Structure 1
Amino acid sequence: MALLLGLAAGLLAAGGDAGLVPLALVLAALAWIDARSGLLPDALTLPLMAAGWLLGARDPAAAVGASALAWAGLAGMAWLYRRVRGRDGFGGGDMKCLAALAGWLGLEAAVGILWLACVLGLPGSLGRRGGWRRPYPFGPCIALAAGAWMLAPLAVQSWF
């Protein structure tokens, strides 16, 4: 995962979109940490979100609004899932990471990245020992989907 996102960062820099390189590199670190520990640490997700507000594709007010809407929507769905199922279904780090992506790339991009991350994560979660009910690190799926979105946004958008 880190190698793929490192390659994506290089391609972004070579293609003239060097402003997204820090995003790709932090996503690579988050993917690696989540795959090993099952956590997306606030020490990386929160500064990533703030950087997106300042360096992202939107003006700062729109970026903050996109992050807030993404986080609120995901937090609401997580709360509802917990009420219905009696257990957590989505981690807080995942919500913050997607809110950071909304700040960097916009709300529509964050929704598309979430959709693609779910598609990418489904085979992995079903094929694991213990089945799909075991906790699954979703950060690598988010990072891979975000990398695909940054490299080929029109191709990814045509999938949904």
Structure 2
Amino acid sequence: MSRETALEAGAFAAAVAASALIALKPGAGDVLAPVALALVVGWIVWSDVKSFIIPDGAAAALGALALGVRLAADGLTPASALFALGGGLACGAALWAVREIYYRARGHDGLGFGDVKLAAAAGVLIGPAGFAVALLAASLAGLAIAGLRGGALRTEKLPLGALLAPAALGVWALGLDGLTG
């Protein structure tokens, strides 16, 4: 096992443990959830900016934390878990469809599969309505960055995950996900 793979596996294991603590112990997520989510989002941003790659361990860690956060908020029921996972599936499938349509129209990838996995994890955290807000915010930020760089919008390469992950975290932190009353 490579060092990088071992680090990803360790991070995922830590996220699963934190997720269980958040979901099972009332009040544990008040500080743990925002800190853990911010750390994973920082990892995603750093990696995507550096190499245009979102590590599988980072997307999995975000998904695990997101599930714990959602179960803590919605209750530890099978229905809550299925609803959260269904949101992840819907968001991942939506971005996968955009990826495929772009590839078929242009003949090359415009989105990486890491972005699709990130969308699925974000969908667990903020649901489809929140994901739509986060995707809009990330897209507008990307347009602004491309404009500031003076690049042609059709050819400017930007790391979507580095924009989408913080936008999803912001949607969650501000309660703009439509999941809370």
TM-score range (shorter-chain normalised) is 0.7 to 0.9
Q: CA deviation at 1:146?
A: 2.4
C-alpha distance 78-64 of structure 1, shift in aligned 2 (>3 A): same
The equivalent position to 1:20 in structure 2, one of 19, 29, 34, is 34
Structure 1 partner of 2:126: 105
What's the CA shift for 1:91? 1.6
Find the aligned partners of 1:26 and 1:153 in 2 and give their Cα distance: 19
Instruction: For 1:55 and 1:144, locate their aligned partners in 2 and report how far apart those are by CA, in whole Å.
Output: 16
Partner in structure 1 of residue 46 of structure 2: 32
Matched, 1:119 2:144: no
Q: Percent same amino acid among aligned pairs?
A: 30
Task: Give secondary structure in 1 for the equivalent of 2:159.
Answer: coil
Is 1:88 matched with 2:109?
yes
Equivalent-residue separation in structure 2 for 1:129 and 1:43 (angstroms): 34
Contact (CA 8 Å) 2:47, 2:54: kept in 1 or not? yes
Alpha-carbon displacement from aligned partner over 1:66-116 (angstroms, at most 9, x marks no partner)? 111111111111101111121211121112112111111222111111110
Check if 1:142 corresponds to 2:164: yes
Q: Contact 1:40–1:94 at 8 Å: present in 2 too?
A: yes
- The structural deviation recorded for 1:18 is 4.4
**In structure 2, how many angstroms separate the alpha carbons of the residues matched to 1:135 and 1:99?**
22
| 2:59 maps to which of 45, 54, 61 | 45
Structure 2: stretches of 5+ with no match in the other structure: 1-29, 75-79
Other-structure match for 1:79: 100
Deviation at 1:130, TM superposition (A): 5.4
Superposition CA RMSD, Å: 2.5
Q: Structure 1 residues 108 and 17, CA, compared in 2 at 3 Å: closer, same or farther? A: farther
Contact 1:54 1:60 in 2 (8 A): no
- Residues 99 and 110 of structure 1 are in contact (CA less than 8 Å); yes or no, is this contact kept in structure 2? no
Give secondary structure in 2 for the equivalent of 1:46. helix
In the TM superposition, what is the alpha-carbon distance from 1:43 to its structure 2 partner? 1.6
Structure 1: unaligned runs, 5 residues or longer: 1-15
For residues 40-77 of structure 1, give each alpha carbon's deviation from its aligned partner in whole angstroms, at most 9, with x where no partner exists. Answer: 11121023213322332452111111111111111111
Matched length: 143
Deviation at 1:124, TM superposition (A): 1.3
Q: Which residue is 2:24 aligned to?
A: none
